[in-house]
Amino acid sequence: MKIFKFGGASVKDAESIKNVAVVLKTEHFSNCLIVVSAMGKTTNALEKVVQYYFEKKNYETEVENIKENHLKITGELFSKNHPVLAEIAVFFDDINSFLRRNKSPNYSFVYDQVVGCGEMISSKILSEYLNDIHFKNSWIDARDFIKTDSQYREGTVNWEETEKNIELLNKSECFVTQGFIGSDDNNFTVTLGREGSDYSAAIFAYCLNADHLTIWKDVPGVMTGDPRKFENVSLLSEISYEEAIEMAYYGASVIHPKTLQPLKQKNIPFFVKSFIDPKNAGTKVGVSEKNEFVESYILKENQLLMSVSTRDFSFIAEEHLSLIFSLLAKFKIKISLMQNSAISLAMCLEDKFNNIDLLKEEVDHLFNTELTKNVSLFTIRNADLKNIEKFYTGKKVLLEQISKQTVQMVTC
């Protein structure tokens, strides 16, 4: 069975959805499962709805704007009397109904129930369109298959239950489902982390022992750098799982960090290809003897630099590190880079849930701290260390680290 994942850019409007059908035709539409992200910037728009809800602003108008945009797209794809138009309207009615009835003050819980609707709507539209053009498929609710804990906005997958559910799918059929979402024991929606649709596709691939997974992007494949941020980048035609995992860890946006582990466990080949030029080979990630150790550039923006030092000039010891790490875990703040000296610890941090001020408040009780916001982490993989000076030109470097042929620097 083949697994295909289409991101938001590939289903952003009616023409894009028609193009998905063109892509599937080149891939011989059969025995496949298609994972779909929310359309275009829908996730951002639904996040704004949640924000307005908690700020007691007029969220209903925002919901209506998103609804009108989706109905415009469906109007370009289907006849006026097509039943999918009524189904789409119901999804938006459910959002308003949930927000009117909700009593939970838990932002993350409300976020998941609202924002997860984006994938439900886009996948329903795509499924119905494909059936209309005789690409027979069944629409399935990913929440019935991917089961998680109740860690809203970054759910942990219950692999045993998930695998048992997904194995029931008939591998000789075709399915359309959602990325990004699963459900907990109470059947509430739980999202898998921002940009988690790639991970969803990998979960289905693992549980179905897929022949391969292809993720369709608006770039030719995995590049030596984001072409929107770096000049003279080139395509990596084939890389190993290990190299791809390293790139994802350092922040390469084209690969979701969690995607690769389940694929590597079963040696399922992973392709990153362009939905603009579907016949091009793209990048293959897998067991490879042709791994391309080419100089690559990764820029991770919107980072934080926190320096922690002891007040009595004692060494930063194991008990200090244990305490600091426990607080990072408590506030769901991730370390992108860490460096310690005798009496201080410097950390480049990623704060998805905007908890940095709460963390600093607790750390300030015990340590001296300095916090610099809005920094960037620049990583060079397979760096040519003979010409290392070129990487520092025009940058104010706050922290740097070199390990083998990987150069990292925190800049502002």
Binding-site positions read: 5-8, 43, 119, 228
Phi and psi, residue 27, nearest 5°? -95, 10
* Residue 216 DSSP SS3: strand
Among the listed residues 385, 387, 380, 384, the one whose alpha carbon sits nearest the alpha carbon of residue 411: 380
Q: Which residue, chain included where needed, has tokens 């293959």? A: 284
- DSSP label at residue 386: G
**Contact (CB, 8 A) for 79 and 155:** no
The residue type at 117? C
Q: Which residues are annotated as a binding site for ATP?
A: 5-8, 228
Task: With both helix axes pointing from N to C terminus, report the angle between 59-77 and 14-26 in degrees, rounded to the nearest 10.
Answer: 50
Rounded to an integer, what distance in angstroms lies between the CA atom of residue 150 and that of residue 183? Answer: 8
Helix, strand, coil % over all residues of the chain, rounded to 5: 40, 25, 35
Rounded to an integer, what distance in angstroms lies between the CA atom of residue 52 and that of residue 44? Answer: 12
Q: Which residues are annotated as a binding site for substrate?
A: 43, 119
Rounded to an integer, what distance in angstroms lies between the CA atom of residue 126 and that of residue 133? Answer: 11
Q: Which residues contact 267 (CB under 8 A, 6 or more apart)?
A: 286, 287
Tokens of 387: 């010409």
- Torsion angle of alpha carbons 196, 201, 203, 206, nearest 10°? -150
**Contact (CB, 8 A) for 283 and 239:** yes
